[in-house]
């Protein structure tokens, strides 16, 4: 930046694109621009409050911390000033000329493609400032950083591709944004309109907001109040305020504790999870306070990564105000706080699951990925997390899910283990070979859908003293008779057949043996105890080079007519019998969800077809 005449700069391409949409589309919700600008002002004030408390050198240090809005119905202007940290020239270029946040590109795409132009999300994607251009044909911004040596700056733009920036003398600390309202946005120069919007969206801003000199908000840190002093409406509004959201939360936990630490916390589970729609990884959503002073916004330290979907406030008197953000990671106090709050929150979720199973089901559908992430990676809280897991099962009612506790509660007498099987859908699992033995013995089997479920259950090993066993294990210990009544093959023929199959399939299988578990299927592929078929499939998908899996145990059903016919065929046409054996093996792999090489398979199918059509 040089001189005072001003310099014109181009917006970054993404900003231009965003502005183009913001300026040229019609929105029903455009009044949210005020919420965004007030939220930026409040952020800037929180930062100055923190810097002052932490003993930093601050320009104009005695200015009151507040937000002033002035409207002029004659001039059609609305201005909003704060005494926050302000910006230096470089910061201005960085913050208001480019988009830094990773999620905002996805947001941009979403805006461009949707008809409804759901601009309400703008604040969640770190581009709230630009919403000013929904109502303003020109925006002037005057700012002076808290840094003692900084220069004041003037920034102006009409939102069309470029902005100008110049030095400005005589500014006090903070930022003033003047909106020259569009003809169709003149209502925003009316004090009553502005007051109404502030009441609706910004009642929880913890600094005075003045409209033409009159204070319009009551400042309250509702997390420090008693539960019975806060109304349902206040909770909802507070949630919307802190998470820049427009929906209502799914769950809310408001609690205080005195020991082992003094804590006031107000935590929310949002209504939905944008991460699951591919909007990018969620940023942590809990702000850390000490005696109502914001220490860190969206703190990564106060909850584990896998609770990044939780929004809210944690306030602890014990935290030293001058704790530096760098030191937070190593602070014993902070990790203690994290443990206590995480535990409390998981207990809360478990209580909700008991009290309101249907609502918990909704939660599970939207947020299970985070609970699973925690259960797979965080041993400190694993026991609590495992209680939160939900599954379909061979005995669950359609649309209902069960917990491990429910499963154990209705285990059959003498049943040794908890069984689970992975598959892409209930239908696929129920059509496959793995369930047969359990069905014939009326034993419940949990259906897992994702490889991570199998990973968690394998890692866990047991639940309440009961072993967790994947139904595709080679060493299933199911005592009792072996189901079917028809005769299998005579013993000596079975022995010969098994040897022939092992020889024919060679390296592909570790063992071929007679099955005691199959009823309707001719063959089944089993896994050794330390892994499951679904985890192997994951490995197949990850390892690009391919289709190699460790040799597995294959069991054949000697009561099945396919196996009996195969046995007879060996003597008549061994070449065809070999082809058939390989196909049976591949079919068993497919039933196991494993990936087979389609080229061999197609070749083989043609050979079989040819034979079939000869006769
Ligand atoms: P976000 O607030 O999510 O970062 P915005 O588009 O609303 O995204 O604002 C972009 C950035 O501009 C802010 O992060 C902040 O650094 C800066 N900024 C905006 N308004 C102010 C203000 N009133 N005072 C100081 N900095 C501001
Ligand atoms: Mg913002």
Residue 257, both tokens: 């504790």
Burial letters for 535-552: b for 16+ Cβ neighbours within 10 Å, e otherwise? bbbbebeeeeeeeebeeb
Same topology for domains 222-364 and 491-614, yes or no?
no
Confidence band of 479 (pLDDT split at 50, 70, 90): low
Model confidence pLDDT, tens digit, residues 282-310: 999 999 988 787 778 889 999 999 999 99
User: Mean pLDDT across the chain, nearest whole number?
Assistant: 90
- Ligand 1: which residue has its CA nearest to atom 4? 126
The per-residue pLDDT for 111 is 78
Ligand 2 center–CA 201 separation, angstroms? 14
pLDDT band at 3 (very low <50, low <70, confident <90, very high): very low
C-alpha 145/C-alpha 291 separation (Å) is 26
pLDDT digits (tens, 9 = 90+) for 380-406: 999 999 999 999 999 998 889 999 999
556, 548 in Cβ contact below 8 A? no
What are the residues whose beta carbon lies below 5 Å from ligand 2 (ion)? 40, 128
Q: Could you identify the atom of ligand 1 that is nearest to the CA of residue 39?
A: 2
Testing ligand 1's pocket by substitution, the residue of 39, 69, 95, 207 carrying the most ligand atoms inside 8 A of its CB is: 95
Please indicate whether residue 95, judged by its CB atom, sits closer than 6 Å to ligand 1.
yes
Per-residue confidence (pLDDT) for residue 277, from 0 to 100: 84
CA distance 239 to 247: 9
Q: Does pLDDT of 486 surpass 80?
A: no
Q: Is the pLDDT of residue 323 over 70?
A: no
> Whole-angstrom Cα distance, residue 583 to residue 606?
12
40 alpha carbon – ligand 2 mean position (Å): 5
| Percentage, residues of the chain above pLDDT 90 | 67
pLDDT at 86 > cutoff 70: yes
Ligand nearest, relative to CA of residue 91: 1
**CB distance 254 to 223 below 8 Å:** yes
- H, E, C per residue of 264-297: EEEEEECCCCHHHHCCCCCCCEEEEEECCEEEEC
Q: How far apart are CA 121 and CA 270, in angstroms?
A: 13
3 alpha carbon – ligand 2 mean position (Å): 30
Please report which confidence band the pLDDT of residue 119 belongs to, taking 50, 70 and 90 as the band edges.
confident
pLDDT (mean) for 158-178? 96
pLDDT of residue 26: 66
Confidence of residue 432 (pLDDT cuts 50, 70, 90): very high
* Closest listed ligand to the CA of 99: 1
124 Cα–ligand 2 center, Å: 8
Q: Which pLDDT tens digit goes with each residue over 99-109?
A: 877 667 777 88
Residues 498 and 557: their CA atoms lie apart, in Å, by 11
pLDDT of residue 99: 84
Query: pLDDT class for 537, splitting at 50, 70, 90?
Result: confident
Ligand 1 touching residue 374 (CB < 6 A) = no
Least confident window among 25-39, 481-495, 505-519: 481-495
Euclidean distance between CA atoms 249 and 362, whole angstroms:
12
Domain boundaries, the chain: 7-215, 222-364, 491-614
% helix / strand / coil in the chain, to the nearest 5?
45, 20, 35
Tokens 């005769």 correspond to 487
Helices (H), 506-597: 533-542, 561-572, 574-591
Question: Considering the domain 222-364 in this protein, what is its CATH number?
Answer: 3.30.230.80
CA 375 to CA 367: how far, in whole Å? 13
CATH number for the region 7-215 comes to 3.30.565.10
Q: Which residue has the higher pLDDT, 609 or 317?
A: 609
Whether residue 166 is predicted with pLDDT greater than 70 in this model: the reply is: yes
- 140 pLDDT higher than 70: yes
Confidence (pLDDT) at 414: 87
Give the contacts of 559 (CB within 8 A, at least 6 positions apart).
Answer: 484, 486, 487, 488, 518
**How high is the pLDDT of residue 321?**
64
Give the position, in ligand 1's atom list, of the atom nearest the Cα of 174: 24
Cβ within 8 Å of residue 394, ≥6 positions away: 430, 435, 438, 439, 444, 445, 447
Query: Which runs of consecutive H residues, i.e. helices, occur in 399-553?
Result: 404-409, 426-431, 436-440, 451-460, 491-505, 533-542
Question: How far from chain centre, in Å, is Cα 16?
Answer: 30
Tokens read off for 341? 């709050």
C-alpha 252 to ligand 2 mean position (Å): 24
pLDDT at 319: 79
Average pLDDT for residues 137-161, to the nearest whole number?
Answer: 96
Instruction: Give the Å distance between the CA of 35 and the centre of ligand 2.
Output: 9
User: 63: part of which helix (H) or strand (E)?
Assistant: none
Identify the band that residue 325 occupies on the pLDDT scale cut at 50, 70 and 90: low
146: which residues sit within 8 A by CB, 6+ positions away? 48, 51, 56, 58, 59, 60, 85, 86, 173
> What is the model's pTM?
0.75
Q: Is residue 44 within 6 Å of ligand 1 at its C-beta?
A: yes
Q: Are 124 and 158 in contact (CB under 8 A)?
A: no
Mean pLDDT along residues 139-151 = 97
* Dist. CA 129 → ligand 1 center (Å): 6
pLDDT digits (tens, 9 = 90+) for 191-246: 999 999 998 778 778 899 999 999 998 778 899 999 999 999 999 989 988 887 88
Q: What is the pLDDT of residue 485?
A: 52
* Interval 328-372: pLDDT, tens: 777 888 999 999 999 999 999 999 999 999 999 999 999 999 999
Ligand (nearest to CA of 125)? 1
The answer, yes or no, to whether residue 535 has pLDDT greater than 90, is no
- What pLDDT is recorded for position 135? 96
Counting from 1 in the atom list of ligand 1, the atom nearest the Cα of 130 is 6
Once rounded to an integer, what is the mean pLDDT over residues 256-276?
A: 93
DSSP code at position 402? B
Element (H, E) at 175: strand 174-181
491-614 — its CATH code?
1.20.120.790
């Amino acid at each position: 930046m040089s001189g005072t005449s001003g310099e014109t700069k181009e917006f970054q391409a993404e900003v231009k694109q965003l502005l183009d949409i913001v300026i040229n589309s019609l929105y029903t919700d455009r009044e949210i621009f005020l919420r965004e600008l007030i939220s930026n002002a409040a952020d800037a004030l929180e930062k100055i409050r923190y810097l002052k408390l932490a003993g930093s050198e601050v320009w104009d240090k005695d200015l009151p911390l507040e937000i002033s809005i002035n409207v002029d119905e004659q001039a059609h202007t609305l201005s909003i000033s704060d005494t926050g940290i302000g910006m230096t020239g470089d910061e201005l270029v960085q913050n208001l000329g480019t988009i830094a946040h990773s999620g905002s590109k996805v947001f941009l795409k979403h805006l461009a493609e949707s008809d409804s132009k759901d601009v309400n999300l703008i604040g969640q994607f770190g581009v709230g400032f630009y919403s000013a251009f929904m109502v303003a044909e020109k925006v002037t911004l005057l700012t002076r950083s808290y840094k003692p040596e900084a220069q004041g700056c003037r920034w102006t733009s009409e939102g069309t591709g470029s902005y100008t920036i110049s030095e400005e003398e005589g500014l006090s600390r903070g930022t003033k944004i003047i909106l020259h309202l569009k003809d169709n946005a003149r209502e925003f120069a009316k004090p009553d309109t502005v007051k109404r919007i502030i009441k609706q969206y910004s009642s929880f801003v913890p600094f005075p907001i003045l409209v033409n000199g009159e204070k319009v908000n009551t400042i309250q840190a509702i997390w420090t109040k008693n539960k019975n002093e806060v109304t349902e409406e206040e909770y909802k509004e507070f949630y919307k305020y802190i998470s820049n959201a427009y929906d209502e939360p799914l769950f809310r936990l408001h609690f205080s504790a005195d020991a082992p630490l003094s804590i006031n916390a107000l935590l929310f589970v949002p209504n939905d999870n944008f991460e699951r729609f591919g909007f990018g990884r969620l940023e942590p959503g809990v702000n850390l306070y000490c005696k109502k002073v914001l220490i860190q916004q969206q703190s990564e330290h106060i909850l584990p990564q896998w609770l990044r979907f939780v929004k809210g406030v944690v306030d602890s008197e014990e935290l030293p105000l001058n704790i530096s953000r760098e030191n937070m990671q190593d602070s014993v106090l902070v990790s203690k706080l994290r443990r206590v709050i995480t535990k409390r929150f998981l207990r809360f979720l478990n209580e909700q699951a008991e009290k309101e199973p249907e609502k918990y089901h909704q939660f599970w559908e939207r947020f299970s990925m985070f609970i699973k992430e925690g259960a797979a990676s965080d041993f400190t809280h694993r026991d609590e997390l495992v209680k939160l897991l939900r599954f379909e099962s061979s005995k669950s009612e359609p649309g209902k899910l069960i917990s491990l506790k429910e499963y154990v509660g209705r285990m059959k007498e003498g049943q040794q283990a908890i069984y689970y099987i992975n598959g892409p859908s209930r239908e696929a699992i129920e059509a496959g070979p793995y369930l047969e033995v359990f069905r014939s013995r009326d034993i419940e089997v949990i259906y897992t859908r994702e490889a991570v479920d199998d990973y968690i259950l394998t890692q866990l090993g047991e639940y309440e003293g009961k072993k967790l066993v994947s139904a595709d294990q080679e060493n299933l210990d199911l005592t009792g008779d072996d189901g079917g009544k028809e005769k299998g093959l005579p013993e000596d023929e079975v022995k010969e057949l098994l040897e022939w199959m092992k020889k024919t399939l060679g390296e592909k299988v570790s063992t071929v043996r007679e099955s005691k578990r199959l009823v309707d299927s001719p063959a089944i592929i089993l896994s050794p105890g330390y892994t499951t078929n679904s985890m192997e499939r994951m490995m197949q998908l990850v390892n690009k080079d391919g289709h190699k899996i460790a040799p597995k145990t294959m069991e054949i059903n000697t009561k099945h007519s396919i196996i009996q016919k195969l046995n007879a065929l060996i003597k008549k046409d061994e070449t065809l019998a070999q082809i058939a054996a390989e196909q049976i093996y591949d079919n068993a792999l497919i039933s196991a969800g494993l990936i087979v090489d389609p080229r061999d398979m197609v070749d083989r199918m043609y050979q079989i077809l040819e034979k079939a059509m000869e006769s």
